[in-house]
Structure 1
Amino acid sequence: MREKGRRMSSQAVGNQTSSGATDDYSNWYIDEPQGDQELQPEGVLPTCHPSLLTGLLHAGLALLSILALLLLAVLVRCRRLRPHHGPGRLGLSSLVPSPVDFLAGDTAWTVPAAVFVVLFSSLCLLLTTKDPLPFLPLASPPSRDGETESPRGSWKIIALLYYPALYYPLAACATVRQGTAQLLGSMLSWAHLGVQVWQNAECPQAPKIYKYYSLLASLPLLLGLGFLSLWYPVQLVRSFRNTAGAGSEGLQSSYCEEYLRTLLCRKKLESSSHTSKHGFLSWAWICYRNYIYTPQRGFRLPLKLVLSATLTGTAIYQVALLLLVAVVPTIQKVRAGITTDISYLLAGFGIMLSEDRQEVVGLVKHHLWALEVCYISALVLSCSLSSLMLIRSLVTHRANLQALHRGAAFDLGPLPQSPHPSREAIFCWMSFSAYQTAFTCLGLLVQQIIFFLGTMILAFLVFMPVLHGRNLLLLRSLESSWPFWLTLALAVVLQKMAAHWVFLETHHGHPELTNRRVLYAATFFLFLINVLVGTMVAAGRVLLSAVYNAVHLGQMDLSLLPPRAATLDPGYHTYCSFLKMEASQSHPATTAFCALLLQTQQPRPPRAPQDGLRQGEEEEGMQLLQTKDPVARGSGPRARQGRARWGLAYTLLHNPALQAFRKRTLSGAQVNGAQP
Structure 2
Amino acid sequence: MEEKVTYEFNVFSTLITLLLAFTMRRKYTGLRLLGGRPGLIFPMDIFGKSNRFSYAAAWGCIAFLTSDIIFERKYALDLPGPLYLKAFYALLSMLIYGMDYLPMFAALSVDCVFGYVVGTLYAWLFTTVRIFQSLECTLKEEPIEIVLEFIRILPLLLCQLYLSISLPVRIVQSIRERKEFFSSMQRITAFELEKSIHDSWEGKHVAKIFRPPRPEPVPPETRKGKIMAHINKLRKFLLYNRQTDFRYSAQLLSVMLVGGMILYRVTFEIIYHVDSIYKILGTISTILETIGFDEEEGEIPLITTIRKYIYLLYYIFIVLHGSILVSVSLAALISFVMILHMLSSYRTNLQNLYKGTTSHIPPRTGKSNPSMLVGSMKYAGYQVGYIAWGFFIQFLVYLLISVQLAVIIAFIRAGFYKWLVDILMQAWPVLLTAFVLHYVQTMLAKFVFLQENGNTIRINNRRLMFNFTYFLFFYNILIGLISCLMRITNSLIFWSMFISRLDKSVLPQRFQTLDPGFNAYVGFMHIEMAHTHPVVIVFLRLLAVDVGIQKETRRPSKSSATDALELTETVQKKRKKFMRARNNWQTMYTLINNPSISQYRKHHIAL
Task: Say which of 541, 557, 568 aligns to 2:514.
Answer: 568
**C-alpha distance in structure 2 between counterparts of 1:507 and 1:203, whole Å:** 75
Amino acid at match of 1:485: A
> Shift of the alpha carbon at 1:121?
0.9
**C-alpha distance in structure 2 between counterparts of 1:520 and 1:110, whole Å:** 60
Q: What secondary structure, in the 3-state scheme, does the structure 2 residue paired with 1:163 have?
A: helix
Q: Structure 1 unaligned runs (5+)?
A: 1-44, 87-92, 141-147, 604-627, 643-676
Amino acid at match of 1:189: A
Amino acid at match of 2:104: L
Partner of 1:115: 58
- What TM-score do you get using the length of structure 1 for normalisation? 0.68
> Shift of the alpha carbon at 1:572?
1.6
Partner of 1:249: 185
Q: Quick one: structure 1 residues 358 and 592, their matched pair in 2 at CA, closer, same or farther if it must change by over 3 Å?
A: same
Q: Could you say which structure has the higher helix fraction?
A: 2
Amino acid at match of 2:285: T
**C-alpha distance in structure 1 between counterparts of 2:123 and 2:421, whole Å:** 67
Partner of 1:311: 258
Q: Quick one: structure 1 residues 373 and 249, their matched pair in 2 at CA, closer, same or farther if it must change by over 3 Å?
A: same
Partner of 2:158: 223
Task: Name the % identity.
Answer: 19
Q: Is residue 302 of structure 1 aligned with residue 249 of structure 2? A: yes
More deviation in 408-417 or 187-196?
408-417
**C-alpha distance in structure 2 between counterparts of 1:345 and 1:522, whole Å:** 65
CA contact (8 A) 1:73 1:97 kept: no
Q: Is residue 198 of structure 1 aligned with residue 132 of structure 2? A: yes
Partner of 1:36: none
- What TM-score do you get using the length of structure 2 for normalisation? 0.75
1:344-400 C-alpha deviation (Å, 9 max, x unpaired): 8999xxxx9x97999997886565334322221222211221222222222222211
Amino acid at match of 1:260: V
Partner of 1:283: 230
Q: Is residue 407 of structure 1 aligned with residue 348 of structure 2? A: no
**C-alpha distance in structure 1 between counterparts of 2:441 and 2:115, whole Å:** 76
**C-alpha distance in structure 1 between counterparts of 2:238 and 2:41, whole Å:** 39
Q: Quick one: structure 1 residues 199 and 542, their matched pair in 2 at CA, closer, same or farther if it must change by over 3 Å?
A: same
Amino acid at match of 1:153: A
Q: Is residue 447 of structure 1 aligned with residue 394 of structure 2? A: yes
CA contact (8 A) 1:382 1:448 kept: yes
Task: Say which of 534, 538, 543 aligns to 2:480.
Answer: 534
Partner of 2:327: 378
**C-alpha distance in structure 1 between counterparts of 2:580 and 2:262, whole Å:** 54
> Shift of the alpha carbon at 1:581?
0.8
Q: How does 1:180-195 map to 2 (within 5 A)?
A: 180-195=114-129
Task: Say which of 403, 408, 416 aligns to 2:365.
Answer: 416
Partner of 1:592: 538
**C-alpha distance in structure 2 between counterparts of 1:206 and 1:579, whole Å:** 51
Partner of 1:90: none
Q: Is residue 167 of structure 1 aligned with residue 101 of structure 2? A: yes
Larger Rg belongs to: 1
Q: Structure 2 unaligned runs (5+)?
A: 187-192, 295-300, 453-458, 550-572, 587-607
**C-alpha distance in structure 2 between counterparts of 1:178 and 1:424, whole Å:** 36
Task: Say which of 430, 437, 458 aligns to 1:488.
Answer: 430
CA contact (8 A) 1:124 1:217 kept: no
> Shift of the alpha carbon at 1:84?
7.2
CA contact (8 A) 2:51 2:108 kept: no
**C-alpha distance in structure 2 between counterparts of 1:478 and 1:262, whole Å:** 62
More deviation in 580-589 or 289-298?
289-298
Q: Quick one: structure 1 residues 162 and 500, their matched pair in 2 at CA, closer, same or farther if it must change by over 3 Å?
A: closer
**C-alpha distance in structure 2 between counterparts of 1:431 and 1:496, whole Å:** 47
Q: Quick one: structure 1 residues 496 and 295, their matched pair in 2 at CA, closer, same or farther if it must change by over 3 Å?
A: closer
Partner of 1:9: none
Q: How does 1:130-169 map to 2 (within 5 A)?
A: 130-133=73-76, 136-139=77-80, 149=83, 151-169=85-103
1:282-304 C-alpha deviation (Å, 9 max, x unpaired): 12322332454321132222332
Task: Say which of 454, 473, 496 aligns to 1:550.
Answer: 496
Q: What secondary structure, in the 3-state scheme, does the structure 1 residue paired with 2:460 have?
A: strand
Q: What secondary structure, in the 3-state scheme, does the structure 1 residue paired with 2:461 have?
A: strand
Q: How does 1:634-653 map to 2 (within 5 A)?
A: none
Q: Quick one: structure 1 residues 570 and 257, their matched pair in 2 at CA, closer, same or farther if it must change by over 3 Å?
A: same
Q: How does 1:424-435 map to 2 (within 5 A)?
A: 424-435=371-382
**C-alpha distance in structure 2 between counterparts of 1:521 and 1:289, whole Å:** 46
Q: Quick one: structure 1 residues 96 and 342, their matched pair in 2 at CA, closer, same or farther if it must change by over 3 Å?
A: farther
CA contact (8 A) 1:339 1:361 kept: no
Q: Quick one: structure 1 residues 160 and 240, their matched pair in 2 at CA, closer, same or farther if it must change by over 3 Å?
A: same
Q: What secondary structure, in the 3-state scheme, does the structure 2 residue paired with 1:337 have?
A: helix
Q: Is residue 476 of structure 1 aligned with residue 423 of structure 2? A: no
Partner of 2:20: 72
Task: Say which of 227, 234, 238 aligns to 2:169.
Answer: 234
> Shift of the alpha carbon at 1:182?
1.7
CA contact (8 A) 1:117 1:310 kept: yes
Task: Say which of 268, 275, 279 aligns to 1:329.
Answer: 275
**C-alpha distance in structure 2 between counterparts of 1:240 and 1:370, whole Å:** 61
Q: Quick one: structure 1 residues 54 and 465, their matched pair in 2 at CA, closer, same or farther if it must change by over 3 Å?
A: closer
Q: What secondary structure, in the 3-state scheme, does the structure 2 residue paired with 1:315 have?
A: helix
Q: Quick one: structure 1 residues 180 and 414, their matched pair in 2 at CA, closer, same or farther if it must change by over 3 Å?
A: closer
Q: Quick one: structure 1 residues 206 and 294, their matched pair in 2 at CA, closer, same or farther if it must change by over 3 Å?
A: farther
**C-alpha distance in structure 2 between counterparts of 1:180 and 1:555, whole Å:** 40
**C-alpha distance in structure 1 between counterparts of 2:292 and 2:481, whole Å:** 40
Q: Is residue 62 of structure 1 aligned with residue 35 of structure 2? A: no
CA contact (8 A) 2:26 2:38 kept: no
1:436-456 C-alpha deviation (Å, 9 max, x unpaired): 111111111111111122122
1:627-673 C-alpha deviation (Å, 9 max, x unpaired): x995374599x99xx9xxxxxxxxxxxxxxxxxxxxxxxxxxxxxxx
Amino acid at match of 1:631: K
Q: Quick one: structure 1 residues 497 and 305, their matched pair in 2 at CA, closer, same or farther if it must change by over 3 Å?
A: closer
Q: Quick one: structure 1 residues 125 and 217, their matched pair in 2 at CA, closer, same or farther if it must change by over 3 Å?
A: farther
**C-alpha distance in structure 2 between counterparts of 1:180 and 1:221, whole Å:** 25
CA contact (8 A) 1:403 1:409 kept: yes
Give the count of matched residue pairs: 525
Q: Quick one: structure 1 residues 523 and 416, their matched pair in 2 at CA, closer, same or farther if it must change by over 3 Å?
A: closer
CA contact (8 A) 2:117 2:171 kept: yes
> Shift of the alpha carbon at 1:409?
3.3
Q: How does 1:379-398 map to 2 (within 5 A)?
A: 379-398=328-347
Q: What secondary structure, in the 3-state scheme, does the structure 1 residue paired with 2:138 have?
A: coil
Q: What secondary structure, in the 3-state scheme, does the structure 1 residue paired with 2:365 have?
A: coil
Amino acid at match of 1:182: Y
Q: What secondary structure, in the 3-state scheme, does the structure 2 residue paired with 1:560 have?
A: coil
**C-alpha distance in structure 2 between counterparts of 1:601 and 1:273, whole Å:** 44
**C-alpha distance in structure 1 between counterparts of 2:444 and 2:212, whole Å:** 54
Q: Quick one: structure 1 residues 496 and 585, their matched pair in 2 at CA, closer, same or farther if it must change by over 3 Å?
A: closer
Q: CA RMSD in A?
A: 4.1
- Give the structure, 1 or 2, with the largest relative contact order (CA under 8 Å, sep 6 or more): 2
